[in-house]
Structure 1
């Protein structure tokens, strides 16, 4: 207590002994303080201010060290190399100045490298090579829409499949038949794949060998695929009309609620019948079904229990319907042959094949290639001999189709969905038919 009083007394004494200059400065300070009090806002104005907590801690912002600053690296460029005739993968790597070790590591650690074993002239390989001359990444253009990218990782190369989505444009083509469907379609600018698919779609109701007539006409609406302005090829047929001998057939692509795709008539009847009318495309009939035919080799009257289709050697032969291969072999008379059993009642036979594509016991689908036209066995030239048996009895393949059970239909509960899905195509077909003065009704 004594020490505190003595200290205060000493401070007071010190102040009392200030020189006059200090007293003048103090007086000036008091006057300035009084003026500032007069100018301060009142209590109402003070209340409107936002209070700032006195205990708020402000974190100072430190400057970013130079070593942590964002660095934008220049992207490595790709080196493109086109596969030449006779090229091997090792030769291409050498041309890219990459080591055999890089190639070995790629082939032993990456997935889907089988595609690299089947590279063809014209394909393109692209490489990213680092400053040390090592392979960082490689890309193989598999086709116009897909690529395989191999990128170096921690333990080897990782594989990524890259698929680009093409632009889909709708196209319509039409033609009048003067000699054949194939020639008319070609003159209309229709691709071969669309011609074949058109024949496939109508193959259950028309025999394009036997039924086609001069002045028949067709309209086909289909997709064309483009990528970056480049035409890639044809897509799906969306709708088609074929007018044959006073009767029109229409087909519409329909996707049901389970994702299954098929072609149906306006009435909802499947265009895909149980059997094709002809097991090959665009040929001519050289010999019809005839129980009293004169055999061309033996020159004797022998029943011809099938239909002969003259065609170039190597023309694909299709399974007329779904089934299982009953027999597949060779005999002196039949040459290379295939017999297919379809359910319990039907068998189809294909004789004089150049080669067989199936073996006994295999399951086959309608329009699956089972062999190729030839002239093996008792044959005077390349052709297919085709037979159709029902319950063990030979029937005329050209007429029996119309006597078989009807094809499947769109169910009643699915008809509203079907009609809604095809309505736009129906209108387009009718509009195009009217513009070209084609008949669209049978």
Structure 2
């Protein structure tokens, strides 16, 4: 092969196609990363590349130069990244509350000093609400580019958010409370083993179940009277945000069938703003005394005039009822009254005695301890926690010894007919019926529908 033949050989087509591809790629890159300089040179670059390729093909030059004026797309991208990194970004730290955490340990986990914590908590009296911590709660800390705390935010629940934001004059506290939609919801259950299990199957929360028991607590002893086959149904307030249930409110109406006897209760708020439960005819569900002072306890010993004492081993009258329950179980005042004793009383151990008006007196013995504010001479309200189950005094296990006296005489609290509270005032009776009748009708309709579906 002669030198002339070698020089005359054309560039391979693959080289020409590759050069065309590079030109297209560079043109596209410059479109993606425009700048004033690149925009001005775009048409010149395209023409320059095209001319070089055409010249190379025509002249069959041994070298092809595709260098373009202006920065490469890679250099442009690098410059954009450098600008992005130069802009300061806020820094977010999220700390999840664990068991045993305090706000001090949370701040420490976020890298904040005790002085910053002090500054935040002292910014306002409301800022102390930040100390209401729950396990699993998330607390967000936002820092500026100088690593200074800009803000704190945390949700106490689906309806409440707390925040603290740094301002010109220090931290500013804010609380956002979302008002949910409230709808009336129906639930029904049949007891096969316990009220709590039946209520859980019906979709009721623990607190709503407790409210249900308290509504009927004047007529039903939930430690003694509950039987398999007992039924309950209720219409209650359900709190909803964007179609999602976020909580429950008040029971509006309820029925409880216990051992074949049905009790109906309707919530009513009078013109003075006081709410209570009444029977469908307007008589009060509330009585002067609740049936049992301990929720869901087990009766371990009944009222008796000839019981053998388990420790003294002697025949001795048992002038009350014993309710067995775990240590620390709350004990409630059976009725409104004045505390005439809150202290030690021989074999009774820690004891509270309450005087209710002129005729009635109740006694609560073997307590582990007394509730805050319960002392000699203090007044208590019906259902108020006055102490906790314990084993003080002559006691073989944790339980409450409960006595009931009428005019100084011990009576059996399980069989004693309880005095009634006042009914709906005559001037509010019509208003009560207008509100209660639709609720009772809803219970009837929902029950009929539920029974029809089960058959």
Q: TM-score, normalised by structure 2?
A: 0.72
Q: Is 1:325 equivalent to 2:319 in the alignment?
A: no
Aligned residue for 1:370? 386
RMSD: 2.7
Unaligned 5+ runs, structure 1: 1-73
Aligned residue for 2:229? 215
Aligned residue for 1:142? 156
Is the contact made by 2:227 and 2:259 (CA closer than 8 Å) also made in structure 1? yes
1:91 positional shift: 5.6
Q: Is 1:235 equivalent to 2:272 in the alignment?
A: no
Q: 1:93, 1:247 → 2: CA distance? A: 57
Alignment partner for residue 186 of structure 1, among 189, 200, 210?
Answer: 200
1:387 positional shift: 0.4
Q: 2:158, 2:92 → 1: CA distance? A: 18
Aligned residue for 2:209? 195
Alignment partner for residue 177 of structure 1, among 186, 191, 194?
Answer: 191
1:255 positional shift: 1.6
1:240 positional shift: 0.6
Is the contact made by 2:89 and 2:144 (CA closer than 8 Å) also made in structure 1? no
Aligned residue for 2:51? none
Instruction: Pick the structure with greater CA Rg.
Output: 1
Q: 1:104, 1:313 → 2: CA distance? A: 38
Aligned residue for 1:13? none
1:356 positional shift: 2.1
Q: Is 1:126 equivalent to 2:140 in the alignment?
A: yes
Q: Is 1:384 equivalent to 2:400 in the alignment?
A: yes
Instruction: Provide Cα deviations, 1:24-63, integer angstroms capped at 9, x if missing partner.
Output: xxxxxxxxxxxxxxxxxxxxxxxxxxxxxxxxxxxxxxxx
Alignment partner for residue 431 of structure 1, among 433, 437, 445?
Answer: 445
Aligned residue for 2:264? 250
Q: 1:218, 1:104 → 2: CA distance? A: 51
Aligned residue for 1:17? none
- The 5 Å alignment of 1:159-174 reads 159-174=173-188
Aligned residue for 1:108? 122
What SS does the aligned partner of 1:175 have?
strand
What SS does the aligned partner of 1:144 have?
coil
Aligned residue for 1:334? 348
What SS does the aligned partner of 2:414 have?
helix
Instruction: Return 240-249 or 181-190, whichever deviates more.
Output: 181-190
Is the contact made by 1:98 and 1:134 (CA closer than 8 Å) also made in structure 2? no
Q: Is 1:259 equivalent to 2:279 in the alignment?
A: no
Q: 1:264, 1:99 → 2: CA distance? A: 56
1:212 positional shift: 2.3
1:280 positional shift: 1.0
Q: 1:116, 1:374 → 2: CA distance? A: 34
Q: Is 1:282 equivalent to 2:296 in the alignment?
A: yes
Q: 2:296, 2:354 → 1: CA distance? A: 22
Shift in alpha-carbon separation, 1:329–1:200, aligned structure 2, 3 A: same
Is the contact made by 1:182 and 1:282 (CA closer than 8 Å) also made in structure 2? no
What SS does the aligned partner of 2:192 have?
coil
What SS does the aligned partner of 2:315 have?
coil
Is the contact made by 1:239 and 1:251 (CA closer than 8 Å) also made in structure 2? yes
Shift in alpha-carbon separation, 1:79–1:347, aligned structure 2, 3 A: same
Q: 1:164, 1:125 → 2: CA distance? A: 19
1:321 positional shift: 0.7
- The 5 Å alignment of 1:71-110 reads 80-85=94-99, 87=101, 89=103, 92-93=106-107, 96=110, 102-110=116-124
1:213 positional shift: 2.8
1:84 positional shift: 4.1
- The 5 Å alignment of 1:29-40 reads none
Instruction: Provide Cα deviations, 1:240-297, integer angstroms capped at 9, x if missing partner.
Output: 1011233211011112222221111101112111100111111222222112222222
Alignment partner for residue 271 of structure 1, among 285, 295, 309?
Answer: 285
Is the contact made by 1:206 and 1:277 (CA closer than 8 Å) also made in structure 2? yes
Q: 1:83, 1:179 → 2: CA distance? A: 37
Is the contact made by 1:84 and 1:121 (CA closer than 8 Å) also made in structure 2? yes
1:385 positional shift: 1.0
Instruction: Return 80-89 or 302-311, whichever deviates more.
Output: 80-89
Alignment partner for residue 151 of structure 1, among 148, 157, 165?
Answer: 165
Q: 1:381, 1:80 → 2: CA distance? A: 47
Alignment partner for residue 305 of structure 1, among 319, 332, 337?
Answer: 319
Is the contact made by 1:275 and 1:401 (CA closer than 8 Å) also made in structure 2? no
Q: 2:144, 2:199 → 1: CA distance? A: 52
Q: 1:421, 1:229 → 2: CA distance? A: 26
Q: 2:341, 2:102 → 1: CA distance? A: 42
